[in-house]
Structure 1
Amino acid sequence: MPPSSRPRRRSTAALVFVVVSAVAGLLAAGLVLPAVAAAAWATDAASEELTTLPVEFDAPAQSQRTRVLDADGDLLATFYAENRVYVGLDAIAPVMREAIISIEDHRFYEHGPIDPIGTLRAFLRNTASDDVTQGGSSITQQYVKMVQVEEAAKAGDEAAVEAARAGTYSRKIKELRYAVSVEQNLTKDEILERYLNIAYYGDGAYGVQAAAEHYFGTTAAELTLAQAALLAGLVQNPTAYNPVENERAGLQRRDVVLARMAELGTITDAQATKAQKKGFDEDAVETTTSGCTTSDFPFLCDYVYKTLLQTPSLGATPEEREQAVLRGGLTVRTALDPSTQEATQEAVSAVVAPTDPLISVMDMVEPGTGRVLAMAQSRPVMGSDAEEGETYWNYSVPPALGGAQGFQAGSTFKAFTAAAALQDGLPLSTRYDARRTVDFSGASFESCEGTRQVNGQWEVSNSTGTNGVMDMNLAAQRSVNTYFVQLALDVGMCDVTRMAEKVGVRSSTADAPVSSYDDKPSFTLGTVEVDPLSMASAYATFASGGIHCDPVVLDSVTDASGASLDVPDGSCERVLDEGVADAVNAMLAGVMTQGTGARVATADGRPQAGKTGTIDSNAATWFVGYTPDAAGAAMISIDNARAPFKAGEGGRGRAGLKGYVVPSTGRVLEGSGSGDAGQEIWKPAMESYLDGRPATTFDAPPPALVYGDGSSTFRGGPGGQPGQPLPGQPLPGQQAPGQPAPGQAVPGQEPRGRR
């Protein structure tokens, strides 16, 4: 500024000082009228500024961080826009209160909303510099400014943020008017409490509690004199005095605070000298990150976060719900049992490592409640370093909840065809001539739109080589493709797809729900891309006797005041006749005792049921199984974006898992649901969860759904003469020697309780 302009600036500043001081007294007394203001101001702009100011200042609740806890109450993750934990004044060390008052506004308890002495001091500094305004603000005025900045930031209004920080007289007048309102409605202690909680202390720490945790690993209540002085010094310039980035500047500013406290007699010179000798221990710094990347279980954490964003009690829109999570100070308790999660993750990681060109998943849910017990995947680290096996995709869930893609589940879908047939009255004794290879080209079936025919050439073969006349039990035990295709065609694809959807199967393909596959008989062979969590949920519907529950990961949510908010409860409802569910359980229990799942069965011999699944070319293998207490889905799939499965210039990459040597372990994969996903992942994970829990049994199915009404249950075959059951296999409807009948209780085991 040219020297000639300084007298004019000083004259203007002097006038404003006199006016502000006069108006301050009038405002505090509530006597300012538009006419008085107009007379007081030298310009029309000043008059308009004063007459348009609202009288009341609305001070909303301060943003606080949200905590997510596991079932044991331990911290799983933290979410925040501002890392703050609001604490009452009685939870803040007296020395911290004294430090902040000494350095920022030592007459705080003596003056009103404005400190005339401090304002005069700032005026004298302003007239000696080219800056517009400096200092002079009382703690109440600073609090007003901080609230305006935070509210503007919350709204995403950068212009309002800058306006709230602008060094203009106009802004100072507005700030003063609001300060009057604050002091009329709050006590000095209440203002100080809010100030200490809203202030920014640098390095991402908002409020004195978060700052105490961050810089010293302590609480606001336990701050020492040296610590309190350092934090008090940060408020003036949190960046310049940040001791993590500039220890020397931070300690020098701390010493200024200590000297000021001694000067005012708040502490003695000896106390100040002793505190000034304290250094800053950078090793004590604790960083509280926001989000899931540093969580022990990042993808389950991410599932929790995305579930919160869909929880209506947190707001009417996704944006409102996000603000509630990031600023609402929520306490979120989840159903996650850390020991189960760790054991499940260990089971997955023992087979497939993050850097392997494979994707493996194991999900576990509780029948009758939908509570998610575990969610593990072979790439458990959330991040962007793909070479190290990091990812942001949650392979357990659909794309809407963070999933990358779905996976074909193969023969695990046969259970849904069986359930639809049983619901339509076809018993387990229903027999077909299930030849090794059958041409279904042109076959008729019922879709939801009417009778249709199989399009084009469609020849189906049995991967196990099984053939002959057999019932539903044997067909499930041997996973016989030609049996279940015939069953699906007889039942009708409309009923089959609707059954899958009712019990909980969800398509991962956009705009292609499960019900849209009613024109595709190949549905029964698992050609739909689904997420593993929905498969665990669907099989849990059978385990619970026909009660389907959506997956539930939230046990409770409370807001910052401790009030409970509604959380999704699984929307549990009966979707399947109890007897039908019991018959499905009996059929799939046979898979575990006499079929492809025999080697997957847990060592304790408790009642359990399940189904293997393998898709074309062994590109993915599955095992989905359950007891009355837990249902789990395990899967291993190729990653077609990585060599050797990625298609290259020379054409298609390696087809599938059979015979593939896993690079990280040297394990040779069988390419079967029982040997890979089942025996190596599902079994150890389930054994860990069930260890120490009493065994419960499935209920016996109605005889009519086992044997029919006594008439012939042979449904014929696609031409030719009926075959015969495999040598050594029980006749349709009979159990193997020494084995309990389907649903029969095992001595010493408890019956299943209905949920």
Structure 2
Amino acid sequence: MVNRSHGRHVNVVQLLALILALVLLAGVGGILAGGLLVPLAAGAKTVTDTAVQVFDDLPDELEPGPLSEQSVIVANDGKTVIARYWTENRIVVPQDEVSDNMQNAVVATEDKRFYEHGGVDVEGTARAAVNNFAGGDQQGASTLTQQYVKNVLIEKAVRDDDPLAIEAAQESTLERKAKEAKLAISLEKQMTKDEILEAYLNIAQFGVGIYGVETAARYYFGKNAADLNVTESATIAGITKSPTAYDPTRNPEDTESRRNIVLKLMYEQGYITKDEYDTARSSSIEDTLDVHPTEAGCQANQTYAWFCDYVTKEIVDNELYGETAEERQELLYRGGLTITTTIDPDMQKEAQKSVAAGVPADDDSGLESALASIEPGTGKILAMAQNRPYDATTEPEPFTTAINYSADPAHGNSGGFQVGSTFKPFVLAEWLRSGHTLYDEVPAAKQTYVVNQFDTSPCTRLSSQPWSPANAEGVASGNISALEATKKSVNSAYVAMGKQLNLCDLAETAWDIGYRPTTTAIATDTHAKGDKLNAPTEEDVNVFAPMIIGTQASAPLLQASAYGTFASGGTYCEPLAITKVTDTDGNTIVEPESTCTEEAIDPDIANTVAYAMTQAFTPGGTASNDGLADGRPAAAKTGTTNLSSQTWFNGYTPQISTSVWVGNAESEDDHLQFEVNGVWYTPLYGGDVAGPIWTDFMDDAVAGMPVEDFGAPSASMIGTPAPPPAPAPTSDDSDDSDSDSGDSDGGDGGDSDGGGNGNSGGNGNGNGNGGDDSGSED
């Protein structure tokens, strides 16, 4: 039972002793000390009255606020730590989760009469005063309660960002000492001894950047505070006298000497036996330490760095977590949060391995790659990886970056990349929605169009510029079906399909499915060309002829989410990174839910598009070499922009949708004749490097999952194959033969017909640049 019989009221003698001790301890020297003694001898009543008045004027209320604690971000298993954030590295624990050894070591060292005094140790104060006045070594007399008060005042000043208050809480002045004393006396009337001890054990500093005994126990010994033995407890208790000088990782010899002093105090005060004392003293600091360094921030764990960066921005920029950015930052760095996320540890490790193996960070090609994977039907982000390591320092290492290529501009500061032919499934969805079928045929040969021939009413008007989109990987002649055009990714056929659609409706359908642009491809009433779109709207999907072959930019995470709509049978879900945020006591602060739109598109359309995209893996398809190892159903679309500067591979099963990008984030350099990771490509296509990365990741990601098929495609949307061609003409009617169905452009890297006739440059809005600027090729 706590003894509270001493120190409840400070009498005159105690007060004068306290003031004298404080003056002496403040280091003001013999003049003031001597000056104080004169009135004490000549006019005690006057001094007493003055002292009482001064003491009464000091504040006597202390309201300890919440301690700054580290926040931790964990994976979807609730255990795997992704990152930690802190201003002060502290983990608060209750007293019953701190070993008796640790509690005894602190009391023995800092305040042996802790359970006897009432906040101010009069005996200790008088002893220190006499010793200091006599010229002995300077001695302190602050009780454990007073030390706690000092730490609370510092903590509050730091939270309030008040440098003057921080200085005032640490300066060696009579006023500060007296203030601490009065607050300590008041505090002892409000809190029990155990409550004060618990609070001190959590607030005190036990090393450079180490706050609280739980953090100290984990850092120095790799265990919880509840499991600390005598030797370990004495080591930690000794550090707080001077956290730098007695840091065992920096000054082991000094720390060992200090530890032995603590052990002696514990023995003299009866907390340990002679055998325990001798055994503990005989061990060296080096032999007892088991240091577990813990770094803060995303850079400390490269496996999860890019997802960590995404989660951090989600909290700091989302009003769901606080009204202002400052409040949200404070919550993350001081709030002791446990942030449970959607990331799957096994998939994430595989994703990071796959992108790094596909394009090593220091590869001579200079290419970058990124992968994002989500769960269809929920939008939960399962993996997010990048071949370049994360480095947000002011002087980053070579082959690193702080830009998250997988994310939208708001979460990654990336402008995204032109999506190329990965936009074609959105065109196909609108094709089916408009009443066409997969077997409807269109001319496959290259043609020159006047862009205002494309239907863009009522949302915009196009100019009369010519546009001659070229083919590259997908080459065909004559008429081909929409199904074959999808399988082979034939640009010219898709442009012919787009010619039969309303492009305003196409933009709406793409948006409904989940296509989200990251930059503007053309100038509009609200944006200049190339503007980043932090919060895009449907109106930001640029309506112009080259949109058909993917000339506007997006990001892998956004692409994976959009393709997830097809995978789920028509439900679009926004990307979801966080599932729960709890405070230090386990109370739920926020529990975000998936934001989904059921039947964002007709399920028949989603399933029929999926059926068409499965053909990419069949012979002659653009992904014929990239199928999954177990032969399970999968759907995919490759993408390659003009001059092969950016390449994509987007694909999915019913359980996972994944997008892989490989390209150059800093420029639109051509990759027509290019070596990547020791392999020569002429040119580089989406199925060449991005495809194998996708396959390598997906093979491991789906391992152990049940094999599921997509929903049945609509027979009416598939349509009827065209009848076989007529027999070849005989020699008698060869003069009537005319098999020229139009020329076929193959792999010319984008035809430049001048006058803004490029894939995206000739956009019909006066933005032509005389070539195939960044148009889609496969």
TM-score (norm 1): 0.83
Which range moved further: 306-315 or 166-175? 306-315
- How far apart in 1 are the matches of 2:46 and 2:650? 78
Instruction: Please state if 1:145 is matched with 2:156.
Output: no
In structure 2, what is the equivalent of residue 675 of structure 1? 688
Aligned to 1:347: 354
Residue 128 of structure 1: how far off its partner (Å): 5.5
- Cα shift at 1:12: 5.6
- The one-letter code matched in structure 2 to 1:532 is P
Q: Aligned residue for 1:696?
A: 708
How far apart are 1:409 and its partner, in Å?
A: 1.2
Q: What is the 5 A alignment of 1:481-560?
A: 481-509=491-519, 510-512=531-533, 513=536, 515-560=539-584
Name the counterpart of 2:748.
none
Is contact 1:670-1:676 (8 Å) kept? no
C-alpha distance after superposition, 1:80-102 (max 9, x if no partner): 22111212222212122122111
Aligned to 2:217, the other structure's residue is in SS state helix
User: In structure 2, which of residues 663, 666, 669 is the aligned counterpart of residue 637 of structure 1?
Assistant: 663
Match of 2:725 in 1: none
**CA shift in 2, pair 1:515/1:14, >3 Å:** farther
Q: Secondary structure at the match of 2:625?
A: helix
- Contact 1:493–1:518 (8 Å) recurs in 2: no
**1:424 Cα deviation (Å)?**
3.4
Shift of 1:341: 2.0
Q: Residues 159, 702 of structure 1: CA spacing in aligned structure 2 closer, same or farther, 3 A cutoff?
A: same
1:735 aligned residue = none
Q: Separation in 1 of the partners of 2:340 and 2:532?
A: 33
What is the Cα deviation at residue 532 of structure 1? 0.8
Give the Cα–Cα distance (whole angstroms) in 1 for the partners of residues 685 and 662 of structure 2. Answer: 10
Equivalent in 698, 722, 739 of residue 686 of structure 1: 698
Alpha-carbon distance change, 705 to 233 in structure 1, aligned in 2, over 3 angstroms: same
1:749 maps to none
2: CA distance between counterparts of 1:37 and 1:503?
Answer: 85
Q: Judging changes above 3 Å, is the alpha-carbon distance between structure 1 residues 12 and 525 closer, same or farther for their aligned structure 2 residues?
A: farther
- C-alpha displacement of 1:330: 2.1
1:134-169 per-position Cα deviation (integer Å, ceiling 9, x unaligned) = 622111111111111112212322222111112222
Q: Single out whichever of 169-178 and 83-92 deviates more from structure 2.
A: 169-178
Question: Who is 1:325 aligned against?
Answer: 332
Q: How does 1:180-579 map to 2 (within 5 A)?
A: 180-269=185-274, 271-281=276-286, 284-295=290-301, 296-310=303-317, 312-356=319-363, 357-382=366-391, 388-446=398-456, 449-450=459-460, 452-454=461-463, 456-463=465-472, 464-509=474-519, 510-512=531-533, 513=536, 515-574=539-598, 575-579=600-604
How many Å apart are 1:50 and its aligned residue? 3.9
SS in structure 1 opposite 2:234?
Answer: helix
CA contact (8 A) 1:37 1:50 kept: no
How big is the shift at 1:200?
0.1
CA drift of 1:632 comes to 0.9
Alpha-carbon spacing, 1:50–1:481, altered in 2? closer, same or farther (3 Å): farther
CA distance in 2, matches of 1:583, 1:185: 71
Residue identity matched to 1:162: E
Tell me how far 1:581 sits from its aligned partner.
Answer: 1.5
Shift of 1:600: 2.1
Aligned residue identity for 1:620: Q
| C-alpha displacement of 1:557 | 2.6
For structure 1, the residue ranges without an aligned partner over 5 or more in a row are 23-35, 646-654, 711-719, 727-755
* Distance in 1 separating the partners of 2:274 and 2:717: 91
Deviations 1:357-385 (A, max 9, x none): 00112221111011112212211454667
Cα distance in 2 for partners of 1:113, 1:406 equals 61
Quote the offset at 1:548 in angstroms: 0.9
Q: CA deviation at 1:130?
A: 12
Compute the displacement of 1:179 (Å).
1.9
**1:270 Cα deviation from its structure 2 partner:** 5.0
Structure 1 CA distance for aligned equivalents of residues 543 and 504 of structure 2: 8
What does residue 657 of structure 1 align with? 671
Answer yes or no: is 1:618 the counterpart of 2:644: yes
Deviation at 1:326, TM superposition (A): 1.8
1:608 pairs with one of 616, 634, 645: 634
SS at match of 1:41: helix
What RMSD in Å do the two structures reach over aligned CA positions?
Answer: 3.2
Distance between the aligned counterparts of 2:494 and 2:139, measured in 1? 82
Asked if 2 retains the 8 angstrom alpha-carbon contact of 1:360 and 1:377, the reply is yes
**Structure 2 vs 1, CA of residues 312 and 98 (structure 1 numbering), >3 Å: closer, same or farther?**
same
* Percent identical residues: 35
Alpha-carbon distance in structure 2 between the residues aligned to 1:128 and 1:577 = 91
Structure 1 CA distance for aligned equivalents of residues 589 and 51 of structure 2: 54
- Structure 2 residue identity aligned to 1:206: Y
Matched, 1:82 2:94: no
- Is contact 1:308-1:321 (8 Å) kept? yes
CA contact (8 A) 1:410 1:525 kept: yes
In 2: Cα distance, 1:386 partner to 1:233 partner: 38
SS at 2:651 equivalent: strand
Aligned-pair distance for 1:52? 6.7
Shift of 1:190: 0.9
Q: Please report how far the alpha carbon of residue 447 of structure 1 lies from its aligned counterpart in structure 2 after TM superposition.
A: 5.2
Q: Which amino acid aligns with 2:382?
A: L
Extract unaligned runs of 5+ from structure 2: 1-22, 520-530, 723-737, 745-778
**Cross-structure match for 2:72:** 67
Counterpart-to-counterpart distance in 1, 2:33 and 2:397 = 64
Aligned residue in 1 for 2:102 = 96
Counterpart of 1:597? 623
Q: By how many angstroms is 1:178 displaced?
A: 2.4
Residues 96 and 232, structure 1, Cα contact 8 Å, conserved in 2:
yes
1-structure distance, mates of 2:584, 2:397:
41
Select between 155-164 and 141-150 the one with higher mean Cα deviation: 155-164
Query: 1:332 corresponds to which letter in structure 2?
Result: I
| Distance in 2 (alpha carbons) for counterparts of 1:475 and 1:117 | 93
Deviation of 1:721 (Å) = 11
1:663-682 superposed Cα distances (whole Å, 9 cap, x missing partner): x434547511123211x111
In 2, Cα distance between equivalents of 1:361 and 1:146: 46
- Residue type of the partner of 1:113? G
Out of 428-437 and 557-566, give the one that drifted further: 428-437
Find the aligned partners of 2:679 and 2:719 in 1 and give their Cα distance. Answer: 47
**d(CA) in 1 for partners of 2:37, 2:321:** 51
Decide whether aligned partners of structure 1 residues 692 and 724 sit closer, same or farther in structure 2, where only a CA change above 3 A counts. Answer: farther
SS of 2:147's equivalent in the other structure is helix
CA contact (8 A) 2:462 2:544 kept: no
> CA offset at residue 488 of structure 1?
3.0
Q: In structure 2, what is the Cα distance between the partners aligned to 1:567 and 1:71?
A: 14
Deviation sequence 1:55-114 (CA, Å, 0-9, x none): 532112222222222234222222222111212222212122122111211111011011
Equivalent residue of 1:623, what SS? strand
Q: Secondary structure at the match of 2:297?
A: coil
Report the equivalent of 1:588: 613
Residue in 2 that maps onto 1:136: 141
> Residues 354 and 388 of structure 1 are in contact (CA less than 8 Å); yes or no, is this contact kept in structure 2?
no
CA distance in structure 2 between the partners assigned to 1:636 and 1:15 by the alignment: 84
- The residue identity in structure 2 corresponding to 1:244 is T
Q: Is the 8 A contact 2:647 2:686 kept in 1?
A: yes
Structure 1 residue ranges (4+ consecutive) displaced by more than 6 angstroms after TM superposition: 15-18, 36-39
Residue type at the aligned position of 1:291: G
Q: Which residue of 1 aligns with 2:764?
A: none
Aligned equivalents of 2:91, 2:305: Cα separation in 1: 23
SS of 2:674 mapped into structure 1: coil
TM-score by length of 2: 0.80
Aligned with 1:350: secondary structure?
A: helix
Q: 1:168 to 1:686 in 2, by over 3 A?
A: same
